[in-house]
Structure 1
Amino acid sequence: MILDRLNTLSGADTRVERGISRRHFLQTGAAAGGGLLLGLHLPFATPEARAAGGNFAPNAFIGIDTNGQVILTMPYVEMGQGTYTSVPMLIAEELEVDLSQVQLEHAPPDESRYGNPALGGLQATGGSTTIRAAWEPMRQAGAAARTMLIAAAAKRWSVDPLSCRAEKGEVVDAATDRRAKYGDLAAEAALMSVPANVTLKRREDFKLIGTPAKRLDTPAKVNGTAVFGIDVRLPDLKIATLAQSPVFGGKLKNVDDTAAKAVKGVRQIVKLDDAVAVVADHMGAAKKGLAALVIEWDEGANAKLSTADVLHQLEEATLSEGPVAKNIGDVTKAMESAATKVEATYHVPFLAHATLEPMNCTVHVTGDGCDVWVGSQILARAQTVAAQVAGLPVEKVRVHNHLIGGGFGRRLEVDGVARAVQIAKQVEGPVKVVWTREEDIQHDMYRPFFFDRMSAGLDKDGMPVAWNHRFAGSSILKRWAPPLFANGLDPETVDGAVEPPYTLPNMRVEYLNVEPPGIPTAFWRSVGPSHNIFVVETFMDELAHAAKKDPVEYRLALLDAQPRAKAVVALAAEKAGWGSQLAQGMGRGVSVQTVFGSYMAQVAEVEVAKDGSIKVHRVVCAVDCGIAINPDTIQAQVQSAVMFGITAALYGEITVKDGRVEQSNFDTYQLLRMNEAPTVDVHIVQSGESPGGMGEPGTSAIVPAIGNAIFAATGKRLRKMPVDTSLLKAG
């Protein structure tokens, strides 16, 4: 849904999810200055430019040097999800080279060339779109390069190109077994015409796609040569850390920096409207200097704000009708004739991202330019905001992107870049601004708080005839991409609520946009579904209980119209041993979802101790994500997403008191620890469908599975996350 809205906004061809015409894709786009128009045109250079230096660069993504090294300019970023392996697999498959032959370079900020076609041409990595966006274009790019290399060899040998084939980085003449390495053909291939049509390999001929591949970025991460944003080292680099107003919307009133300036290594104190930074020779000195500051804040209008205020605001909002996001049939009439009625309310809290790599950005502002070194999910926007803050034209700002130590949506925001440029404007030479963990958690941009009212009507057999879902909360897109917020609705926020996989004859979903005072919200791994799947799948479990039916069988009966969803439920239940005996105090819970273009079901096995504490022992996941590019990456993505989601289910909660976030580090914002990690069994359905997204689905699916397992173990229904263990104590 969100992909359609983004592409509609930009004017892009929404056929990108199903594949685009090859001729359309391979156009040179001369009318657009040779640029990538909304992600649908490869930016081909002229033959003369392609042949410069004897190298072969048929488009903005692929270059082949005279040694045969394939250089992929990567338009997406790597933040642990495996992009830097799975996308090269698409290129290598069509180019007929070994994966190890592909070398990666970060793409510079340039939306005309490197825009994400699944996100309306924004140069962004997010929304589990990378493989969906790259699936057709990257194979087309590889096939185009392969075709031109074959044409160059055929011309050299004076043979028909149809008699030649590409194989292991060479072109082979089938009749004579003559061979020419790609590097030897690079200069000649650069002079070939770009093909108007290319032939992609048949899926049964894939050699790489669908096979386990070792991560290309692993060796550098293991030996320490990988460079993340926080690793940037420059001559004469200074380090800064900062304190921002502890109250949302507060301002800096006064600073006594006498003691801070006396700290050895402290070079400068930078004062901003709502923050103060200490610039020093190293982080230790910067932190000591920051601690020595005596700061007086003007706390402003939110000085008394609390979590209870936010909850009350949202709960009150849902007492009134809101804009309708989905309406099927007549819910009111169906409810009147229902044999049984079920009602429930749910709410989920603010959540922090808590990435392993805290927020950081290195900036050097000079008289006529600005350089930014950062790990960003949205590079062109980072360049734009840096230019605005620095007061420079965009072309005077150079952004150098790096590996990201965890994004989860946090680095789809550019507040950290803006803050670093504000500080760097007052510093001579380059400065790296590093947020402490406390600053990172207490000044995050949080997953929104939501409050939901659910009601359903069941017929005499216990099956749903009416489904009503009304909820209130913040809209991220209203701020992040205002044109997408139309008629009071945000397609990202209602994702997972408006398209459940079940057959529901009468259904109504309403969303009320209510913004919490001063508290910034942002994308968080699985975004709308992280909230909606919890509510939908927990409530579906409640309906099964009201109908006195098994939760798996109840779901299967409602999934006839969604065979892929039905298949993953059946598979997960089978592999989990659904219905088999468990030890006392243990329960199994199930969930199913169709989000991010993938189908997923999870079964969680959970133990509830007498003191109410929770232990997740095992998670069984069945996933149909279409063609599995790299099964190893898919398994790793599910495992990591499950761990992320278990944190949200058991511990994740940002609370506010007196306008301040109460959590400050991992002692008060606890993450799932190694000794708590369950076994995660992943079963991938073999599918010929186009790839779906895999970075986020596991996070949204696990939370209701855990809640439903707790109910199975205790008979106590939890309608709020994280789990309140005090409600589960025996006796």
Structure 2
Amino acid sequence: MTLSTSRRGFLQGAAAAGAVLFVGVKPSGAIAAAGEATQLNPFVRIGADGSVTAIVKHFEMGQGPSTGLTTLIAEEIGLTMDQVDYEFAPSNPEVYNNLLFGPFQGTGGSTAMANSFEQYRKAGAAAREMILQAAANDWGADVSTLSLENGVVRGPDAQAPMGDFVAAAAQLEAPAEPRLKDPSEFRLIGNPDVRRLDSAIKGNGEAMFAMDVYLPNQMIAMIARPEQRGAQAVSVDDSGAQDIKGYIRSAVLPNKAGVAVYAENTWAAMQARMMLDIEWDTSAAETRSSDEIEAEIRAALDAEPTYNVNKADVAAVNAAIDSAAQVVEQTFYFPLLAHAPMEPLNCTIEQTADGGLILHDGAQMPTGPHMALAQIFELPMEKIQINTMLAGGSFGRRTTPEADYQVEAGLAFVMTDRTRPVKLVWSREDDLRSGYYRPAFGHKVRIGLNESGEIVGWDHRVAGQSIMKGTPFESFAVHDGVDHSSVEGTYDSPYMIPTAHFGLTDTEKATSTLWWRAVGHTHTAYVMEVMMDMAAKAAGADPVEFRLGYLSGDAPDQARKAAVLRKAAEMADWGNAPAGHSQGVAVHKSFGSYVAEVVEISGNPEDGVKIEKVTCAVDCGIAVNPDIVKAQMEGGIGYGIGHVMRDKITLTGGAVDQFNFPDYEPLRIGDIAQIDVHVMPSAEAPTGVGEPGTPPAAPALANAIAASSDLRIASLPMNENGVSFV
């Protein structure tokens, strides 16, 4: 198991092991070595034996930062990937913060590489220059004549392993602005042969996920939660659980949000939980059902929007549409969706000998639980350690503003005598019935076309449940009352659409809402791309050419989006599908990246649709690890398509109906026959790849189905709205 310690313990422990060079970045961005300034945040640790460890501040849930950030360090120092290891950073938001989040240490929003590209390169470059300077001093050589390749310092008359110079390098002042390698010097960045560092351990079972943590004498805690959001536990009678072998006890959580069940093992906890007699106060609980929620959203779409997002002249937009030669319109509805990561939520908490705490967790945003535990246990932050583990997926679920499951673990632990570690475990049923969800949304769009088939007006209204309002991210994402995560991908689309209005109305939250892979783009891309297809058909135009007509500007946004669209169409041999096949296209910008996808299907909605091939082109700036970029596009495509095929979360009287994978079915490996991904060459700064593959996938499939049958799918999932799959 990779252990995490406090920053002070980290530095002291490493120094005690021998001569070590620490290189880090101050919040101001200046590079410095440890020594006098031991408060610096270390990104690189080099041992006296020349071993190099990259300290990775973004956690690993399968998206690849443990490899990507390590690649940056290895590239700049001059190492092979076999010569560098990684470990996850301790929780310290002052120095390991996500530069795009503010004072938070966390992973999300596809920001790992965008946030850390220059930061980690500078740390590696500083280490390289310090090693070379130490060697130059030792050899009496001009530093400009030395190089560091594959961990070996070479000069005109000598060579030696870099470990020989670590002690001397640690005494030098670090360069404030080290020279970063020119892209022409890259050997690892952009190399498609660089493979993931964590593949082997995940394949052979050595990888330690949070669920794998087992501490001596630990207890298992599971939480009995109310079926309806907002209900509170009043009392619990555990007499029915007393005879279950391994059962310890039950207690109402201090916040009344549930009942903690303690047992010697998970099975005993599950069995005991079913036998509890709990009195719930449902006076403030959610009681609406899905049809009522949908009706409220559709009613909001028919009313005037609360917010005029792009400050449009609504009267002018309506006049342009009303006087158009053709009007294309559609209303869409998107249900609640669960994240459903393969590893259900869990974490383990223990007390240290000095009265501090260690939380073992697949911590996506460690700052939240760190602060929460400090409050629960009334401890200073430095007395709490977060041991960040690998996580078996997240898709947004592991980063709640309330640190929900970590708070549950903390409350369950604080009610004990703290002599035994407590491992909190969620079941799959807990995840689907008591979790957080992508909120339900509706869109209503009217497009006016002139006699030439050109768009002359676009009225787009969105209604749904805000994710950001009431959270610590409100100041970041909400402006003038508009939660921009609700409308992202609409008003800010690279499409140059004249005379447009984008409106938003917030509706009451039906359950706990949370960002879901690609957040608002999961529904906005669907609507934008289906509507562009409908407009193209009304105009009698080819869907690809029609889109390109609205991407003809010289700005990078239009040029880059047009480029991926052309590339995907070329790779898919657009317009030349085999007999019995049809194609659909979608292109979207999200998280700074541009992704175009062409879905090719066979069959028809009545007899069954088979997804034969998905072709994808992505421009994410410099692709640090092309192999990982391709994998993320493939995963994002599967995630987007799998959910629209057959998944939704519904409520009856405020309680979630779905129970497990039989009624919330994940994508099957046979659902998509083939995926081809092309990574566009680019010299632009890296942008996100964890999420941008998801938004275009569903509309490309919907457009392929419409091309074969004229069926426009405006409500999801598809299998409940006229489409069967084979």
Q: What is the TM-score with the length of structure 2 in the denominator?
A: 0.91
For 2:140, the equivalent position in structure 1 comes to: 158
Pick aligned residue for 1:548 from 497, 519, 540 = 540
Distance 1:386 1:92, change over 3 A: same
- Asked if structure 2 preserves the Cα contact closer than 8 Å seen for 1:488 and 1:513, the reply is no
Secondary structure, counterpart of 2:503 in structure 1: strand
For 1:21, the equivalent position in structure 2 comes to: none
- Asked if structure 2 preserves the Cα contact closer than 8 Å seen for 1:150 and 1:171, the reply is yes
Pick aligned residue for 2:32 from 16, 26, 44 = 44
Q: Which moved more, 1:479-488 or 1:626-635?
A: 479-488
Identity %: 38
In 2, distance between residues paired with 1:726 and 1:346? Answer: 12
For 1:28, the equivalent position in structure 2 comes to: none
For 2:455, the equivalent position in structure 1 comes to: 464
For 2:654, the equivalent position in structure 1 comes to: 659
Structure 1 residue 491 displacement after superposition: 2.4
For 1:135, the equivalent position in structure 2 comes to: 117
Structure 1 residue 45 displacement after superposition: 4.7
Pairing of 1:117-136 with structure 2 (within 5 A): 117-136=99-118
Name the amino acid aligned to 2:410: V
- Asked if structure 2 preserves the Cα contact closer than 8 Å seen for 1:538 and 1:707, the reply is yes
In 1, distance between residues paired with 2:488 and 2:225? Answer: 33
Distance 1:239 1:204, change over 3 A: same
For 1:678, the equivalent position in structure 2 comes to: 673
For 2:306, the equivalent position in structure 1 comes to: 322
Q: Does 1:243 find its partner at 2:224?
A: yes
Structure 1 residue 479 displacement after superposition: 2.8
Name the amino acid aligned to 1:467: W
Q: Does 1:409 find its partner at 2:371?
A: no
In 2, distance between residues paired with 1:365 and 1:419? Answer: 16
Q: Does 1:515 find its partner at 2:498?
A: no
Pairing of 1:180-219 with structure 2 (within 5 A): 180-212=160-192, 213-219=194-200
Pick aligned residue for 1:103 from 66, 85, 102 = 85
Structure 1 residue 609 displacement after superposition: 4.3
Distance 1:89 1:614, change over 3 A: same
For 1:500, the equivalent position in structure 2 comes to: 493
Pairing of 1:385-464 with structure 2 (within 5 A): 385-413=372-400, 414-428=403-417, 429-464=420-455
Pairing of 1:508-587 with structure 2 (within 5 A): 508-517=501-510, 519-561=511-553, 562-584=558-580, 586-587=581-582
Name the amino acid aligned to 1:351: L
In 2, distance between residues paired with 1:706 and 1:477? Answer: 29
Distance 1:725 1:493, change over 3 A: closer
Distance 1:610 1:85, change over 3 A: closer
Secondary structure, counterpart of 1:61 in structure 2: strand
Count of paired positions: 686
Name the amino acid aligned to 1:317: A
- Asked if structure 2 preserves the Cα contact closer than 8 Å seen for 1:58 and 1:190, the reply is no
Distance 1:696 1:425, change over 3 A: same
For 2:338, the equivalent position in structure 1 comes to: 352
For 2:14, the equivalent position in structure 1 comes to: none
- Asked if structure 2 preserves the Cα contact closer than 8 Å seen for 1:362 and 1:433, the reply is yes
Structure 1 residue 493 displacement after superposition: 2.3
Pick aligned residue for 2:623 from 624, 628, 652 = 628
For 1:90, the equivalent position in structure 2 comes to: 72
- Asked if structure 2 preserves the Cα contact closer than 8 Å seen for 1:626 and 1:688, the reply is yes
In 1, distance between residues paired with 2:24 and 2:63? Answer: 28
In 2, distance between residues paired with 1:699 and 1:239? Answer: 36
- Asked if structure 2 preserves the Cα contact closer than 8 Å seen for 1:359 and 1:416, the reply is yes
- Asked if structure 2 preserves the Cα contact closer than 8 Å seen for 1:623 and 1:684, the reply is yes
Structure 1 residue 48 displacement after superposition: 4.9
Per-residue Cα deviation, 1:394-414 (whole angstroms, up to 9, x for no partner)? 232222111111011111111
- Asked if structure 1 preserves the Cα contact closer than 8 Å seen for 2:100 and 2:111, the reply is yes
For 1:291, the equivalent position in structure 2 comes to: 274
In 2, distance between residues paired with 1:522 and 1:729? Answer: 29
Distance 1:247 1:608, change over 3 A: farther
In 2, distance between residues paired with 1:291 and 1:675? Answer: 36
Structure 1 residue 595 displacement after superposition: 1.4
- Asked if structure 2 preserves the Cα contact closer than 8 Å seen for 1:619 and 1:679, the reply is yes
Name the amino acid aligned to 1:41: G
For 1:14, the equivalent position in structure 2 comes to: none
- Asked if structure 1 preserves the Cα contact closer than 8 Å seen for 2:360 and 2:388, the reply is yes
Per-residue Cα deviation, 1:688-723 (whole angstroms, up to 9, x for no partner)? 211121100111110111111111111111111211
Q: Does 1:378 find its partner at 2:373?
A: no
Q: Which moved more, 1:366-375 or 1:87-96?
A: 366-375
Distance 1:307 1:692, change over 3 A: same
Structure 1 residue 328 displacement after superposition: 5.9
Structure 1 residue 352 displacement after superposition: 0.4
Distance 1:264 1:350, change over 3 A: same
In 1, distance between residues paired with 2:286 and 2:106? Answer: 35
Secondary structure, counterpart of 1:697 in structure 2: coil
- Asked if structure 2 preserves the Cα contact closer than 8 Å seen for 1:47 and 1:192, the reply is no
In 2, distance between residues paired with 1:44 and 1:233? Answer: 38
Per-residue Cα deviation, 1:478-515 (whole angstroms, up to 9, x for no partner)? 13312232211122222111222212122221122223
Structure 1 residue 217 displacement after superposition: 0.8
Name the amino acid aligned to 2:274: A
In 2, distance between residues paired with 1:145 and 1:558? Answer: 47
Structure 1 residue 581 displacement after superposition: 4.0
Secondary structure, counterpart of 1:477 in structure 2: coil
Structure 1 residue 234 displacement after superposition: 0.8
Q: Which runs of 5+ in 2 are unaligned?
A: 1-22
- Asked if structure 2 preserves the Cα contact closer than 8 Å seen for 1:544 and 1:554, the reply is yes
Structure 1 residue 264 displacement after superposition: 0.7
Secondary structure, counterpart of 1:539 in structure 2: helix
For 1:477, the equivalent position in structure 2 comes to: 468
Name the amino acid aligned to 1:44: A
Pick aligned residue for 1:689 from 677, 684, 687 = 684
For 1:335, the equivalent position in structure 2 comes to: 321
Name the amino acid aligned to 1:679: Q
Per-residue Cα deviation, 1:283-323 (whole angstroms, up to 9, x for no partner)? 11111111222333233344531111211222222212221
In 1, distance between residues paired with 2:647 and 2:205? Answer: 31
- Asked if structure 2 preserves the Cα contact closer than 8 Å seen for 1:501 and 1:565, the reply is yes
Name the amino acid aligned to 2:433: Q
For 2:293, the equivalent position in structure 1 comes to: 310
Structure 1 residue 59 displacement after superposition: 5.5
Name the amino acid aligned to 1:501: P
In 1, distance between residues paired with 2:564 and 2:179? Answer: 33
Structure 1 residue 602 displacement after superposition: 0.3
For 1:267, the equivalent position in structure 2 comes to: 248
